[in-house]
């Protein structure tokens, strides 16, 4: 199976082609802004470099969150555009699912995926659920846990200070090979379905003024 996987949810734009679990080629660039234009360029460069036409793909996998509001929206919109133009199946993958796929040897430890929301809080994904919370309001660890994600060092330190049995992993950002692997299992029905729709945990930071736009749009 040939999978195009990409991500722009957490501080980096990345795209890769994965064939039957093997990474054929990838492009990535750190970016906290401008994800919409950058990700499209990376995907085009990737397809041009490999000579793979989009309609030869078997599957598209894209991260749907949690993470940057703009980054998530950019990735999902691009994925839907490619899927609509080519008829290639499209599925969504959470950041935590991709990180979990990169950490297969955790044993009985539960994985906590912790993403910094850049607004003084974290997105915490565990056991298939996602919440937003402050570091001072982390839930209790009811057993051994492992922590991944870009906010993992902060979360692991807080848990350790409470006396929790916590392991800090080295997984910080979702890798395209693991996004593709989760997407392929999802398409095959091995894990529950997830539409490629944004996983927003909190409302966007940008809001319209209470009195509306000034001046109002011309009809």
| Domains of the chain from N-terminus onward | 2-95+174-188 (3.30.420.40), 103-168 (no CATH)
pTM assigned to the model:
0.90
Given a contact cutoff of 8 angstroms between Cβ atoms, the answer to whether 112 and 142 are in contact is: no
Given a contact cutoff of 8 angstroms between Cβ atoms, the answer to whether 176 and 26 are in contact is: yes
pLDDT of residue 26: 97
pLDDT of residue 218: 43
d(CA 158, CA 45): 41
Joined together, the tokens standing for residue 219 give 């009809």
d(CA 12, CA 6): 10
Say whether 3 sits in a helix, a strand or coil: strand
pLDDT of residue 119: 81
Q: What share of the chain is helix, strand, coil (3-state, %, to 5)?
A: 30, 25, 40
pLDDT of residue 209: 53
Rg for the chain (alpha carbons), in Å? Answer: 18
Could you list the pLDDT tens digit for every one of the 219 residues in the chain? 999 999 999 989 999 999 999 999 999 998 767 777 899 999 999 999 999 999 999 999 999 999 988 899 999 999 999 999 999 999 999 999 999 999 999 999 999 999 998 888 999 999 989 999 999 999 999 999 999 999 999 999 999 999 999 999 999 999 999 999 999 999 999 999 999 999 988 765 545 455 554 544 444
């Amino acid at each position: 199976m040939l999978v195009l996987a990409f991500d722009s949810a957490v501080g980096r734009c990345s795209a890769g082609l994965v064939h039957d679990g093997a990474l054929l080629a990838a492009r990535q660039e750190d970016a906290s802004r401008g994800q919409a234009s950058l990700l499209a360029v990376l995907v085009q460069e990737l397809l041009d470099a490999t000579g793979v036409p989009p309609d030869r793909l078997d599957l598209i996998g894209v991260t749907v969150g949690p993470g940057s509001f703009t980054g998530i929206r950019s990735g999902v919109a691009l994925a839907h555009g490619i899927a609509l133009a080519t008829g290639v199946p499209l599925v969504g993958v959470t950041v935590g699912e991709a990180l979990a796929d990169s950490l297969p040897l955790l044993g009985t430890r539960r994985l906590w995926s912790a993403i910094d929301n850049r607004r003084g809080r974290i997105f915490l994904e565990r056991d298939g659920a996602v919440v937003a919370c402050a570091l001072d309001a982390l839930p209790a660890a009811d057993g051994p846990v492992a922590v991944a994600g870009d906010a993992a060092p902060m979360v692991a330190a807080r848990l350790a200070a409470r006396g929790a049995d916590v392991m800090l992993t080295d997984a910080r950002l979702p890798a395209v090979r693991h996004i593709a692997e989760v997407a392929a299992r999802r398409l095959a029905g091995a894990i529950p379905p997830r539409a490629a729709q944004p996983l927003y945990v909190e409302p966007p930071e940008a809001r319209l003024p209470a009195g509306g736009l000034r001046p109002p749009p011309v009809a």
